[in-house]
Structure 1
Amino acid sequence: MVKKAIAAGILAGLVLFAIFQQFYTIEEPEAIEASKAATGIGAGMVSPNFKLKNLAGEEVSLKDYRGKKVMLNFWATWCPPCKEEMPAMERFYKEKSKDVEILAVNLDPQNNVISFVKDNDLTFPILLDHDGSTQQTYSIISIPTTFIIDEQGLILKKHIGSMTYDQMQELMK
């Protein structure tokens, strides 16, 4: 009986934490210089760099995208909300790729990611987090999770959960 109560308490705490993160949004920082900002995963912090391989086996670094806004999305092939937002992400990428880069970090590369990408006609870059280090660095607990990163590498916003095309447009403003 005590074990059930403890498990229920832990589960309730996790649910409250997820709800809090879903609605917790920090607005864009006031003109913070990237060179003076600390590295971390909070708004106004410099996004931690990573190097991951894309589907072609080429190494990609987040720093390669400095000078361009980035939508950094963490997802998995088995995740229903991730699957739900993929068509909107593809539409957004096709229409906005001159202004915004999408980097979709897959967290289950042991599954057939290439087949998933082909089946869904995805053209934005897919990166594979083989060892889970990037997931750990960005403290990804729930997926999909998306970070909006500005041209200097500063994190502007974090969104947990599936997004619509309109939400993507709003987040990128």
Structure 2
Amino acid sequence: MVKKVIAAIVLISLLTVAIVQAMEKKNEPQNNEQTTTPTANGLKIGAKAPDFELKTLTGETVKLSSLKGKKVMLNFWATWCPPCKAEMPEMEKFYQSAGKDIVILAVNIDPQNDVKGFADKNGITFPILLDEKDHVNQVYQILSIPTTYFIDSNGTIQNKFTGGMNLDMMKKYTSELK
């Protein structure tokens, strides 16, 4: 009887240690992830924008850190999202008038759909990036779409907007970037 009690105590102790270690490991950042201060609604204003590298519809690779020195409007969207669809023509107008110091990156979170067909049908010429592994979406803690981060020329998040935007809003937020 004593042996069974001791065996049970040892088993429970080992199980407790395993659970504690699993929980600690889950909370550690992955080696390839940047540590950025989160808030309940995503990344914190004033934090360094986490770097990423994604492919465009045309197969080119875009790395956020390579855009240092430019202002970046980083938009997360999906082809099935009504507010995303509504803001796309506004983003295209903004892209046509923005100039060379502002970059629009539209990160698509549903690449399994016909994103190229959507872009062609809507006459979109700004870069659309495909988040095929859902990694950038998770790192930027996107809870609803569309969500747009405004990143200054030093790579710092200066503003965030959740919901569909119009041309005037895009001009206002980018004009506030350094």
Q: Bin the TM-score by the shorter chain.
A: 0.7 to 0.9
Q: CA RMSD in A?
A: 1.1
Show structure 1 runs of 5+ residues with no match.
Answer: 1-37
Give the ranges of 4+ consecutive aligned residues of structure 1 lying more than 3 Å apart after TM superposition. none
* SS of structure 2 residue aligned to 1:52: strand
- In the other structure, the counterpart of 1:160 is 162
Does 2:59 match 1:82? Answer: no
Amino acid in structure 2 at the alignment position of 1:140 = I
- In the other structure, the counterpart of 2:104 is 102
Aligned with residue 48 of structure 1, among 47, 50, 72: 50
How much has 1:137 moved relative to structure 2?
A: 0.3
Show structure 2 runs of 5+ residues with no match.
Answer: 1-34, 38-42
Question: Which structure is larger by alpha-carbon Rg, 1 or 2?
Answer: 2
TM-score by length of 2: 0.74
* SS of structure 2 residue aligned to 1:102: strand
- In the other structure, the counterpart of 1:5 is none
* SS of structure 2 residue aligned to 1:72: strand
> Equivalences for 1:75-154 in 2 at 5 Å?
75-154=77-156
Inter-partner Cα distance in structure 1 for 2:98 and 2:60:
24
Inter-partner Cα distance in structure 1 for 2:36 and 2:92:
29
User: How many residue pairs end up in the alignment?
Assistant: 136
Does 2:71 match 1:69? Answer: yes
TM-score by length of 1: 0.76
How much has 1:42 moved relative to structure 2?
A: 1.2
Inter-partner Cα distance in structure 2 for 1:171 and 1:119:
27
How high is the sequence identity, in percent, across the aligned residues? Answer: 54
Inter-partner Cα distance in structure 2 for 1:53 and 1:64:
14
Inter-partner Cα distance in structure 2 for 1:81 and 1:113:
16
How much has 1:58 moved relative to structure 2?
A: 2.1
